[in-house]
Amino acid sequence: MTKAPIAVALDAPDLAVLRAWSRAVAPVVSTLKVGLEVFCRDGAAAVHAARLGASEVGSADVQIFLDLKLHDIPATVA
């Protein structure tokens, strides 16, 4: 199956949900995105959970995009 050129935001409430979402979508998308709020809350464990979830379903080749930009959304820096 060809993966869609889509990035899915994994803005999950906790690492278990993030990992589950990663398992669910990694087989069909090209990129998983970990955002600023999740990264600030969970640190590198969020990236690891995304990678682990993808690996569990045979999608270790999925890209992980760590989106830490601050000034694109005013509420982020307010």
Which of the residues are catalytic?
Answer: 69
The Cα-based distances of 18 to 1, 10, 22, 29, 65 in angstroms read: 23, 6, 6, 15, 14
DSSP annotation string for 25-59: HTTTEEEEEEEHHHHHHHTHHHHHHHHHHHHHTT-
> What's the rounded Cα separation, in Å, for the pair 27 and 24?
7
